Amino acid sequence: DPFIAFHPDKALVRKYMSPLLIGELAPDQPSFEPSKNKKLVEDFRELRVAVEKMGLLKPNRTFFMLHLCHILLLDIAAWLTIWYFGSSTVPFLISAVLLGTVQAQAGWLQHDFGHLSVFSESRWNHLVHKFVIGHLKGAPASWWNHLHFQHHAKPNCFRKDPDVNMHPLFFALGKTLSVELGVQKKKFMPYNHQHKYFFIIGPPALVPLYFQWYIFYFVVQRKQWVDLAWMLTFYIRFFLTYLPLLGVKGILGLHLLVRFIESNWFVWVTQMNHIPMHIDYDKNVDWFSTQLQATCNVHQSLFNDWFSGHLNFQIEHHLFPTMPRHNYWKVAPLVKSLCAKHGIEYHCKPLLTAFADIV
């Protein structure tokens, strides 16, 4: 199920899976793992076939092109604000907010290309992915792919999902793991105050203080020179366009403020769908159950869709990672129906409630 979910080209999957076949089970041997719900697996596979027949995996490329255009227009507007009104406090802050919005929205857009959900050919998705994440954001595509698909394969599974590696170094995550820390009497941080220090080392610090330097370490260590070249085009463009207007101190201050805005936006949106959910060791349950116990949705609205890059439909995104995001709302009723049939809770909450549940 994960191979089918991650790869739009089924023939390619069969090609690379066939060498792994070492034999067939004898007729009297069980062909299904006892930890997985066989009927649920069969129903989900029927749902996926229905989704494909409904055309919900086919993208509307105009949607993504318009999204890219609105990012580029905001980027241009940020520069024009300082160029026309000068570098005083108000134009400086307006430009920073516009550029912070560019970074957040480009983050959601690169996510679409990274999941191969825009073009029918994977190579075009990969190429545009490098442009969006590399040139528009200054980050490496290889780094995103390396981490993000591990997260999708085993969301909220300790030691397998890199997004929960913060446990237990900074935060105590999930009831099961927290109780385990208590039993072992391990105390890395004052966890009884983590709801307070989250606001210091979480949203504001992740991008400017960690990702900012780690991505360069990643590409150099792994010799990802193409990604490094794409990243450098972002910094060259940024310094060439803003240095004459702001000087060295001004441009460094603008860059830090933009990363601060982006970091807060990114952390609140990405964590609201996962951190409040079940976090545990991998129990090897079926694909549908794995995703549902680790994800939740946020109510749909035009603002929520735009603000979160449609990641307010996190459940549907995790079940169908190659589905274009503009179709999530269409498949949501079918997923709810399957959840109701098998007695699985479908979590959906208001945006502010989702933020509060993180803490």
Q: Rounded to two decimals, what is the model's pTM?
A: 0.92
Identify the three-state secondary structure at position 36. Answer: coil
Give the tens place of pLDDT for each residue, 47-81.
Answer: 999 999 999 999 999 999 999 999 999 999 999 99
The model's pLDDT over 196-240, given as tens digits with 9 standing for 90+, comes to 999 998 999 999 989 999 999 999 999 999 999 999 999 999 999
What is the pLDDT averaged over residues 290-303? Answer: 96
Any idea where the domains of the chain sit in the sequence? 62-150+194-272
Q: Which two tokens stand for residue 133?
A: 């994440």
Please give the pLDDT value at position 3.
85
- Would the pLDDT of 108 be above 80? yes
CA angle 128, 77, 139 (to 5 degrees): 35
Q: How far apart are CA 231 and CA 352, in angstroms?
A: 34
Average pLDDT of 21-39? 85
Contact 51, 337 (CB under 8 A): no
Cα dihedral 320→321→322→327 (10° resolution): 60
In this prediction, residue 217 carries a pLDDT of: 95
Per the rule left: phi > 0, alpha: psi between -120 and 50, beta: everything else, 161 is beta
Mutual orientation of helices 89-114 and 141-153 as an angle, nearest 10°? 60
Nearest to 323 by CA among 54, 132, 123, 105: 54
Q: How far apart are CA 346 and CA 20, in angstroms?
A: 35
Helices 212-221 and 225-271: angle between axes, nearest 10 degrees: 140
